[in-house]
Structure 1
């Protein structure tokens, strides 16, 4: 990795409420150089993912970043989407203006390959959706794991229940075949360059509450400072003066309502922005070395991620798994960074 203070990042997303916050976190981070955005189907169909990314970029005045459309279906499995979790467009109640800029002519798989070939050993790959695009890229360019500086993945569940099946996390469950292909392909790298996996075990401790949205609004200089409440009518819309704060509150409110309806409380798990933060600073999480694989054949456990912590398989370790973090330290960093991005925007009309 070059000595520059900025980390070159290629992000692959299925945007998604928490993917949106991961993207904004990177845009707000002076230590990140966002090289491009690869879009895959997952939370919503891939073309809606691309539209969401273009809209967020334009809202933040960053429309020069390439947004490439990738796989619209998993490698083998039928496509699952989850609009009930993320809203019909994938961004909750947020209603972003239609983007003026177009999706790139370059396919997301080519974006992956061309980017790592152009900057061998420099680029950090961050995947917060299914691993379909990266799996396809590895099949076309088997050297990709060695050309990439490092890979960070939000996905999996190890000593924790799944959130899609009893044993499988969403990003892996959508395309388990792609996940296995990627984890296998990234085996054999030096330990310091092996993937970091941020699973539900740790991301479900990263709980955003209404007070965090209020803190973000206050730090952004937005008014009124709104604190969503469980007692509010469903679909209440933000009146925030700052456009980024307003759209974020509308997006996250949908997520709060979803978790409440699932009996988890008026809260939201911020899986993907946490993975973005770990990508830039792995010291945010305690990591544990393991051999990681994905179950493909089980009738009950297809898509389960399995970690051999103790070498029982007698196979080399191939990944680092995040097992613990300080959620409040992460949210302090999130509020500080994203509020800086928000303050740079003109007031909402």
Structure 2
């Protein structure tokens, strides 16, 4: 039986790579892709997602329009890294139109898909968690029907990439992250910012990956040129990846959702999100002292089998 996934994305370059990894795996069935504000405004996310599906010849995958704004926070995007359009500022004049979108909205689509496949669907959330927060408000029993939830977001050592100690996806909608971490009690796995930094991809591998003589590799090379140039800057390397290479954040969460045997080191701990702090709003809190008295613990990923991960990336562009 194939592993059934819903991907919740804010399609920038790493989301694109994650989508391509999922679509290339013969053991995976992507039941739908839900789109959120995040790396770029929602309209761009929708267009970008369809462009990725076109590059993979998979426009049969249903795509759903989600939330264009966070619950309470100010709107945020990452255009300086992913490009103003979210996909490297290399427009496609023949890009698919938004008429291909499903009429149903993202949160309702999540609920309906899971109701049709109770206990079988893994939800992979690599965007601000707004759509997930809306879904649990609409259907409080929704999380109990999931097989598992994989999140790219949050941080484990207060190391920020958007604020002093806040990771982008959580800072972009702290209230949504708080709702999800406190109300989703299904098996939950978190690929934090620091984890992705410490498992970044060596540049020689990135060159090998993008040198494959395929249309998919050519597409990925075009859309990732801007972000890779940014990632190679001395300032960015010092602040984010400790000089190790390229950090394709969201792809890690997708990969371990497909195959959790990739995880070689992890720990289980209760988590929540700080909402009030002047400097710490949006920061993920790890409750090692168990003061929160939460029975639900998240799996915090620390290390993965990087060679297996690399092979998944290579396969995605073949």
TM-score (norm 2): 0.92
SS of the equivalent of 1:61 reads coil
2:82 and 2:146 map into 1 onto residues whose CA distance is 31
Contact 2:55 2:219 in 1 (8 A): no
**What SS class does the counterpart of residue 100 from structure 2 fall into?**
coil
- Give the number of aligned pairs: 309
Give the TM-score of the pair, scaled to structure 1: 0.84
Contact 1:257 1:266 (C-alpha < 8 Å) held by counterparts: no
Determine the C-alpha separation between the residues in 1 that align with 2:42 and 2:133. Answer: 16
Partner residue in 1 for 2:68: 72
Partner of 2:232, secondary structure, is helix
Structure 1 contact 292–319 (Cα < 8 Å) conserved: yes
- Structure 1 position 217, deviation (Å): 4.4
Please point out which of 35, 46, 49 is paired with 2:45.
49
Task: Evaluate the alpha carbon distance shift between residue 257 and residue 138 of structure 1 in structure 2; reply closer, same or farther with a 3 A threshold.
Answer: same
Of the three residues 270, 280, 298, the one matched with 2:248 is 270
Alignment partners' CA distance in 2, 1:82 and 1:21: 17
Runs of 5+ consecutive residues of structure 1 not aligned to the other structure? 188-192, 223-241, 341-349
For residues 217 and 109 of structure 2, the distance between their equivalents in structure 1, rounded to whole angstroms, comes to 31
CA drift at 1:174: 0.1
Does residue 114 of the first structure (1) align with residue 86 of the second (2)? Answer: no
Q: Is the 8 A contact 1:125 1:151 kept in 2?
A: yes
Between the aligned partners of 1:309 and 1:270, the Cα distance in structure 2 is 28
Farther-moved stretch of structure 1 (303-312 vs 109-118): 303-312
- 2:124 equivalent among 123, 126, 129: 126
Superposed CA deviations along residues 150-206 of structure 1, whole A, max 9, x for unmatched, are: 11000010125111111110000000000000111123xxxxx42101101211123
Structure showing greater Rg: 1
Distance 2:208 2:279 in 1: 42
Secondary structure of 1:197's partner? strand
Specify whether residues 212 and 93 from structure 1 end up closer, same or farther in structure 2 by C-alpha distance, changes over 3 A only: farther
Partner of 1:32: 28
Asked whether the equivalents of residues 19 and 128 of structure 1 are also in contact (C-alpha less than 8 Å), the reply is yes
Give CA deviations for 1:100-121 in whole Å, capped at 9, x if unaligned: 4522111111111111111111
CA distance in 2, matches of 1:26, 1:36: 11
**How far is 1:88 from its partner?**
1.6
Q: Which moved more, 1:268-277 or 1:319-328?
A: 319-328
Tell me which moved more, 321-330 or 134-143: 321-330
2:295 to 316, 322, 346: 316
Question: Unpaired runs of 5+ in structure 2?
Answer: 238-242
The corresponding residue for 1:260 is 232
Listed as ranges, the matches of 1:178-189 within 5 Å are 178-187=176-185
Contact preservation (8 Å) 2:200, 2:244: no
- Select which of 85, 88, 107 maps to 2:84: 88
Counterpart in the other structure of 2:281: 302
Partner residue of 1:195? Answer: 188
RMSD: 1.7
Provide the rounded CA distance (Å) in 2 between the counterparts of 1:325 and 1:266: 15
* Larger CA deviation: 128-137 vs 151-160: 151-160
* 1:230-255 Cα distance to aligned partner (Å, 9 max, x none): xxxxxxxxxxxx33212211222211
Range with greater deviation from structure 2 (278-287 or 15-24): 278-287
Contact map agreement 1:151 1:195 (CA 8 A) in 2: yes
Q: Secondary structure at the match of 2:317?
A: helix
SS in 2 for 1:177: helix
